[in-house]
Amino acid sequence: MKNKFLFVFGTRPEAIKMVPLIKEMRKESRFEVKVCVTGQHRQMLDQVLDFFGVEADYDLNLMKPAQTLVDITGDVLKGVTEIMHQNFFPDYVIVQGDTTTAMAGALAAFYAKVKIIHIEAGLRSGDKLSPFPEEMNRVLIGRMADLHFAPTFKATESLLSEGAHPDTVWNVGNTVIDALLLGLETIKKDNGLKYDQFFNFLDRDKRVLLVTGHRRENFGEPFENICFALKEIAEQQPDVEIVYPVHLNPNVQEPVKRILKNHPRIHLIEPLDYPYLIWLLDACYLVITDSGGIQEEAPALGKPVLVMREVTERTEGVDAGTAKLVGTDQNKIIQETMRLLNDQEFYNQMAKAVNPYGDGTTSKQILEVLNEQLTLKFKKEKI
């Protein structure tokens, strides 16, 4: 009898981090693997699955205008429950990270008394309102999960300190590195020509600064501070170009376009499909971001990261020296960016620091653990 696994996810970051594990698990004859997507991020989710050649078995298609966290939570809870009871009742539900989809998907499994596997478990900022609602999402999933796959030693320690049994926690690195390396390998097989053409507006003699920013806690004045800092950096450094794929949220679009749209070396572009983003990540000089996953991806390619947040749950990167917190203080963003641009020794320290988030073997490690756990379970059942 095959062991049944249901992956539940709905956003692009989740898809990126789930795909390598889905592909590995679908190679196993003893596993029956199904994928349920919620569509929390519709277009961005689909393009990741298309790029990696992964098809969803169930699509809740929950995306709707002006949806709230309450809408998403209720719709995911109801939708996943219906799939489990009407289509595919799994032995395990697998969720990733800290999205509302992940929390509601885990809750649906908990209500159905289905075991929960949490990928990228144990991240903590210590502030339940930052990031919001992600911090409480991951705490709640951590309390419900049966198997915890942590990306770092610190995340492992957090889970153990909260009462997770040591036999249920594994430090395996982060699947985002698996996806990054798999994606770049795919791009290289295509010779990367279409990516060169897509980014033909860039002056290759200049250093590229990749900016990503979208967090709701930065809406309002913090985003204006970020934009004014970026404008000043471009003014002071004629040898750099800034590329900012601008999130579609109006709270991001308005200040970004109002403050930055007419500068000749600041390129405000549409949100990038995943392969274009990782191509640009590989080509850039440094990253300025408030995003989560890119704090893990960039160091794998030797790119220093300045994090525009007051706190981060990914403290391992800060501790390792691959990332530095700058918050949304205009002067601090300018100061630390200029230092990276003009102090080669400081740049090299960050660029060459060891990435604490893994080496691209996380999915294989998780597969080994699952095989071991299921073998142990089978032996116990026979006794």
H-helix segments, the chain? 12-25, 42-52, 69-86, 100-111, 134-144, 153-161, 175-189, 193-198, 221-236, 250-260, 274-283, 293-300, 315-320, 330-342, 344-351, 362-382
User: Side chain identity at 293, as an amino acid letter?
Assistant: G
Q: Is 247 a catalytic residue?
A: yes
CA atoms within 13 A on the CB side of 269: 22
List, in sequence order, every residue forming a beta bridge with 7; answer none if it has no partner: 35, 94
Active-site residue (options: 75, 120, 297, 316): 120
How far, rounded to the nearest angstrom, does the alpha carbon of residue 89 sit from its chain's CA centroid? 28
Active-site residue (options: 14, 24, 75, 134): 134
CA atoms within 13 A on the CB side of 326: 27
Q: Is 267 a catalytic residue?
A: no
> Where does residue 239 rank: exposed (0-12), middle (13-18), buried (19+ CB within 10 A)?
exposed
Q: Is 381 a catalytic residue?
A: no
* Tokens encoding 254: 């308005």
Active-site residue (options: 30, 216, 258, 339): 216
Active-site residue (options: 12, 214, 215, 309): 214
Q: What contacts 87, CB < 8 A, 6 or more positions away?
A: 58
Active-site residue (options: 26, 207, 247, 267): 247
Q: Is 313 a catalytic residue?
A: no
Does the N-terminal peptide bond of residue 131 adopt cis geometry, omega within 30 degrees of 0?
yes
In the chain, % helix, strand, coil (3-state, to 5) comes to 50, 15, 35
> Where does residue 193 rank: exposed (0-12), middle (13-18), buried (19+ CB within 10 A)?
exposed
Q: Is 50 a catalytic residue?
A: no
Q: Is 263 a catalytic residue?
A: no
Active-site residue (options: 14, 24, 75, 98): 98
CA distances for 216 relative to 31, 64, 71, 191, angstroms: 39, 19, 17, 37
- Coil, helix or strand for 152? coil
List, in sequence order, every residue forming a beta bridge with 95; answer none if it has no partner: 118
Catalytic residues: 98, 120, 134, 214, 216, 247
